Amino acid sequence: MKTFFPNIKKIKYEGPDTSNPLAFKHYNPRQKVMGKTMAEHLRFAVCYWHTFKGLGGDQFGPGTIIRNYNSSGEPMQIAEDTMHAAFEFFTKLGVNFWCFHDRDIAPEADTLAETNKRLDTIVALAKKLQKDTGVELLWGTTNAFSHRRFMAGAGTNPSPHVFAYAASQIKKAMEITKELGGQGYVFWGGREGYETLLNTDMKRELDHLAALLHMAVDYKKQIRFKGQFYIEPKPKEPTKHQYDSDAGNCYAFLQKYNLLKDFKLNIEANHATLAGHTFQHELQYCVDNGILGSVDANRGDLFLGWDTDQFPTDIYDTTLAMYIILQGGGFTTGGLNFDAHVRRQSIDPEDLFYAHIGAMDAFARGLKNAAKMLKDKTFEKAIKKRYAGWNTPFGSKIESGKADFAQMEQYILKNGEPKLQSGRQELLENLLNDYI
């Protein structure tokens, strides 16, 4: 069989002392941490769009990266070769999951019917390759943001004709996700947002977005698709104001439109930072509200204000993320999808491997660190101590909603000034360093 990464052998765990850059130093899939293997905890997925379709293009120039599966000329041949290359990559890297948009795997044709036929051909191939390799689909999604018909949005488009196009596309993407046994389905807003309120009826657009999602919920029941639905928040890019801007905003939207029971969130690190939050903040918000579903693992750049989608390498970030994910009970249907791309100058196929190996090692270290933090309860104890006042009869009375203003006043008149306590931030930061 034709191979697309002939110079790469299966990536193995060789331990921290290896000098082989094509080996894992920390990710040992079968190693147990807190009763589960690393592979079971981390549920790594490779994304199709950046890894196989991203060629390093930016606003200033077209792609720089030439791939051997991208060169045969005929679009469906390229699609087939790319699918073969993708499964070779997943298998050599040793990830158990992948993720895709409909338009990543098969190019759009002139009509919806023709496009859907192309999808069926490619999905049949993907299904066979999944069976041959054991690699599973973490989630599928729709690209309803690249084509010019979606320039003013998909579900939030001012035209019902465009809305119907988006809905038809989602219908098909859900069908193929089900066909491939997908464990989830993502709705990322794409161009669901606006540039100026001078031409936008925001209320109406959000009502329409909710109508679209309700249709998806109904169709999910109809076709008996068991995967989990996720919304992926992002505050800006491509539109000036994206509707699903952060976890809190999504939560309010889902509550208002009675969609909370059908959706969880897919939190992306770089989207969190664009929203002015840390990755950990967004994860914690989801855990606290029972809506953490899956993660798009990447990182931004401190000095750039856009979605750079770099591979995660910061051990503080991966440690704190895993600390929160483990506290939330770990992944069920979700996982860590590397929604990240190699830089424009990283033009060799090996670079794709280095990028993923580094990211997987970074999360393996994060997992091990987080497990130690949980075992020692260092931070849990500090937080418990800080809030101890709420466990007294007085604190409990307030928490149970049985207290009133008069009682508060009485308490202060009797007890006077509160005794203040240190927040101990520097000490806790030092203690965190002991785990890194």
Report the 3 state secondary structure along 204-232. HHHHHHHHHHHHHHHHHHHHCCCCEEEEE
- Minimum distance between the CB of residue 386 and ligand XUL, rounded to whole angstroms? 36
Q: Pick what 186 binds: Co ion, ligand XUL, none; C-beta below 5 to 8 Å, kind-dependent.
A: ligand XUL
User: In angstroms, rounded to a whole number, what is the distance separating the alpha carbons of residues 20 and 34?
Assistant: 28
Footprint on residues 240-269 left by Co ion (CB under 5 A): 268
* Residue 307 binding ligand XUL, by CB under 6 A: yes
Closest to ligand XUL by CB, 154 vs 162, is 154
Return the structure tokens found at 25.
Answer: 């130093």
**Residue indicated by tokens 């049985």:** 402
* Residue 296 binding ligand XUL, by CB under 6 A: yes
Strands 32-33, 36-37: pairing kind: antiparallel
Footprint on residues 40-59 left by ligand XUL (CB under 6 A): 49
Half-sphere exposure of 172 (CA within 13 A, CB side): 23
Closest to Co ion by CB, 246 vs 339, is 339
104 a catalytic residue: yes
- Minimum distance between the CB of residue 98 and Co ion, rounded to whole angstroms? 14
Q: Per the residue annotation, which of 26, 50, 81, 104 is the catalytic one?
A: 104
Binding mask 328-347 for ligand XUL (x = CB under 6 A): -----------x--------
348 a catalytic residue: no
Closest to ligand XUL by CB, 28 vs 242, is 242
- Minimum distance between the CB of residue 419 and Co ion, rounded to whole angstroms? 47
- Minimum distance between the CB of residue 118 and ligand XUL, rounded to whole angstroms? 20
SS3 55: coil
| Nearest residue relative to ligand XUL (C-beta) | 188
Q: Per the residue annotation, which of 101, 208, 271, 281 is the catalytic one?
A: 101
Per the rule left: phi > 0, alpha: psi between -120 and 50, beta: everything else, 216 is alpha
DSSP string, 263-291: EEEEEEHHHHHHTTS-HHHHHHHHHHTT-
φ, ψ of residue 169 to 5 degrees: the values are -65, -40
Q: Pick what 136 binds: ligand XUL, Co ion, none; C-beta below 5 to 8 Å, kind-dependent.
A: none
SS3 138: strand
47: closest CA among 14, 86, 76, 80?
Answer: 86
Q: Which of 188, 243, 279, 323 binds ligand XUL (CB under 6 A)?
A: 188
Cβ(284)–Cβ(355) below 8 Å: no
Other Cβ atoms closer than 10 A to 153: 26
Closest to ligand XUL by CB, 172 vs 368, is 172
Closest to Co ion by CB, 265 vs 367, is 265
Footprint on residues 133-172 left by ligand XUL (CB under 6 A): 141
User: In angstroms, rounded to a whole number, what is the distance separating the alpha carbons of residues 94 and 29?
Assistant: 9
Footprint on residues 70-109 left by ligand XUL (CB under 6 A): 101
Q: Is 398 exposed, middle or buried (0-12, 13-18, 19+ CB in 10 A)?
A: middle
* Residue 104 binding Co ion, by CB under 5 A: no
Residue 16, preceding peptide bond in cis (omega within 30° of 0): no
Catalytic site residues?
Answer: 101, 104
Q: What is the binding site for ligand XUL (CB under 6 A)?
A: 49, 101, 141, 186, 188, 232, 234, 268, 296, 307, 339
Q: What is the binding site for Co ion (CB under 5 A)?
A: 268, 296, 339
